Chains A and B, each alone.
Chain A
Amino acid sequence: MKAPTPIIEIRDGKKSFGSFVALENINLTIHEGEILTLLGPSGCGKTTLMRLIAGFEGLTSGTLRVSGEDVAAVPPERRPVNMVFQRYALFPHLDVFENVAFGLKVKGLAKSEITERVKRMLHIVQLESLANRYIDELSGGQCQRVALARALVNEPKVLLLDEPLAALDLKIRQHMLAEMKRIHAETGATFIYVTHDQDEAMILSDRVVLMEKGRIVQIDRPEDMYARPKSLFAAKFLGETNLFETAVADSGAQGTVAKTASGIGFLSRNGAGHKAGDKVVVSIRPESFSFANNDEGSSQKTQGQVEDVVFIGSRSFYTVRLDDQAKIRIQVQRNGRVKPPEPGSRATIYWDADNVVMLPQA
C-alpha cells in the first residue's frame, strides 16, 4: 500500500458564530481516496465543518488547506470540492439531465462533452431512463442519486456528503449505502461523509472522526473505535456497552485490575496509564460476555440471575442481574454447542481481559 497523500488539512481550526463557538481545536488530515465519516450527535458541528471545506463559511482562526494550498480566500465555486446537500437542493426548474449538467454548463464546456459526461454519470447512478423527468417526479432515492450525479460529474477531488441518507427509509438506505461504496470505488474521489448514524459510519468508512460539542474526540478506523474507544462518550456513542464504575486496584505487567465497590474485579490489557486508586469506568460490549468459558487462561467471571431473553434471528440478548444488583446485557450467537441458560436460572458469566476497556470518568 502506498503512503496516503493528504488532500485536506485543517490545523487548529476554530469557528465561532458571534460568541457561540461551533468548532474548536480542529486538527484533521484527510487522505486522497478515503471515505472519512464525520460522526456525532446533532448539533456537534458536522455541517459547519463541511461548509467550511466547501467554502460557504470561513474559519475564525486556523488554516484549511486543499491539496496543500491555503483556501481561505478561495470562493466555493473555485474549490475542487462538491457537496451533496442535506436536503439535496436539486433545482426544481430543471430536469434530471439539466440538473446534472449544471456544473459543466456554467464552466462553459462544449455541448458534446457535456452530453457525453452527463450520460456517463447517469449511467453510473442508473438514472439514464429518467433523464427528462423533473425533480418533483422522482422518489427520495432517485433524488439522492441525482444529487450524487450532479456533484460527481464535475470530477471533484473531494465529495462532501451531508447526511445524504437521513431522509430515506431504512430499506432504501441500506441499498444506497452499497451504491455509495460502489460509486466511490468507481470514481476514486475522496468522500467526506457526515452522519449521526453510527451504523452508516461503521459500514461505510475507512476512518471515523467522532465529534462532540464542536471538538474532535477520536479519529480511528471504525473497528478500532468500536473495540478501543478512548472516552466514555465514544464508548456510549458507538454501539451498545455495559459500564461499571470502578477503582484501579493494581497495575502491573499482567495488565490493570479494577474493582467495583461490590468487589467484582476486572483485569484489562487496555488499561495502561491508570494507576492504583484512579477512578475508572470499565466498558464491556454485550458480545464480549459469554456463558461459556472459552479460554481458560484469560477468562474472568462473575455470577448473576438471568432475567430476560430476547431472540433476534441468530442472536439472543440476555438481561442478567448481577449479585450486586447491576444489570448487564449479553449478546450470544446461537451455535448449538453451548446450551444457554433459561430465564430465572443462575448463570456464570465469563469475559476476556482483551475486551475490557478502561476509560477515564467523564
Chain B
Amino acid sequence: MLLRLVVWTILAFLVAPLIIIVLFSFHASASLSFPFTGFSLRWYQEIFGNTQLAGAVTKSLIIAFFTALITLVLGASASLGWLRLDRIGRAVIEAMSVTPIALPGLFVGVSLLVLFAQAGIRLSTLTIVISHVVIALPILIVAMKARLALFDPSLEEAARDLGASQRQTFARVTLPLIAPTLISSAILAFAVSFDEFVVTSFVAGTETTLPMYIWSMMRRTVTPMVNAISTLVLLFSVAILLGAWLIGRLRRQSAISARAEP
C-alpha cells in the first residue's frame, strides 16, 4: 500500500509539470498560474507568426538530421567492428563509450570549445553538429550494443557456407538484420540532438537552435508561448521515440538471431 503511494507520488511529480505546461499552452489569458480562465489557441497562432522561432526550429532540424546521419554511418561502422570483436575488445569499446555519457555537459562543452579554438575552427552550425555527434555517438553505441549482442555470427557463416561472398553476405544477411537497430538508433541520435542545450550553448557561436531560442525568450519575458512551443516539442519527441520503438519492434526484423530452441 505504502509502496503504491510512493510510486504514484513519484509519477505525479514527473507528470504534473508536463500536464501543467500542456494545459496552460491553451490558456486564454497571459497568466501562468491558476485560476484557469478559458481555452484558446492564441499562443499557437503566435508561434506560427514568429519568423525567428521558425528559423531556430529549421536550424535545429537541420542539425539533428546531420547529427543522425553522421552518427548512423559512424555507429554502423563501429557496430560492424564490434560484431567481430572478442569479449575483451567489446569491454574496451564499452568503457570508452560509457565514459563520455557520464561526463557533465559543462565539461564536454568547455573541452569542445577549447578544441575548436585550438584547431582554429570557427564556431558555426558545423561545430554544433560535431559536438552533437560527440554526445550522441556513445549513447548510440550503448543502445545498439544490447541488440547487436543478440546477433548470431553463425548466420554470416551459414551465408558463406551457402555460397555467398563476403559482400553478398553483408548485403543479404548482416545489413537487413541490423538495419532496424541502426535506424532506431539514428532516430535516438536525432532526438538527442534536437533538444541538446548545455553543450550547444558553448559551441554555437552566433547560431541559435530551438532550445537556445526558448531559453533566451524565457530570459526576456516569461510568455505563455513557451508552453505552446514546449507542448509541440513534447509531441514531436514522443512521435519520433514512438517511431524508433515501432521500427525496433517490427516483426521478423526484430529477430536478429536464429531461433534454436525447439
Contacts and interface: CB of A to CB of B under 8 A. Distances in A.
A135 B161 contact: no
A154 B162 contact: yes
B155 A91 contact: yes
Interface size class of A (residues with CB under 8 A): 35 or more
A87 B157 contact: no
A77 interface: yes
Contacts of A134: 251-252
Interface in A77-111: 77-78, 81-83, 85, 87-93, 102-103, 106-107
Interface stretch (A22-30, A165-173, A228-236, A238-246): A165-173
Contacts of B122: none
A93 B262 contact: no
A95 to B, nearest CB: 9
B162 A150 contact: yes
B154 A140 contact: no
B258 A89 contact: yes
Contacts of A91: 155, 158-159, 173, 258
Interface residues of B, number: 28
Given A92-B255, A103-B163, A154-B163, A169 B173 contact: no
Contact of A136 (B159, B177, B259): B259
A92 B256 contact: yes
Contacts of A88: 258-260
Interface stretch (B33-41, B89-97, B164-172): B164-172
Given A77-B163, A154-B163, A167-B261, A89 B252 contact: no
Given A82-B162, A107-B163, A134-B252, A56 B157 contact: yes
B160 A76 contact: yes
Contact of B161 (A83, A136, A141): A83
Nearest to B180: A93
A200 B115 CA distance: 66
7 contacts: A77-B161, A81-B161, A87-B154, A89-B154, A102-B159, A167-B260, A167-B261
**A-B pairs with the 3 shortest C-beta distances?**
A140-B262, A103-B162, A92-B255
Interface of B: 152, 154-155, 157-165, 168, 172-173, 176-177, 251-253, 255-262
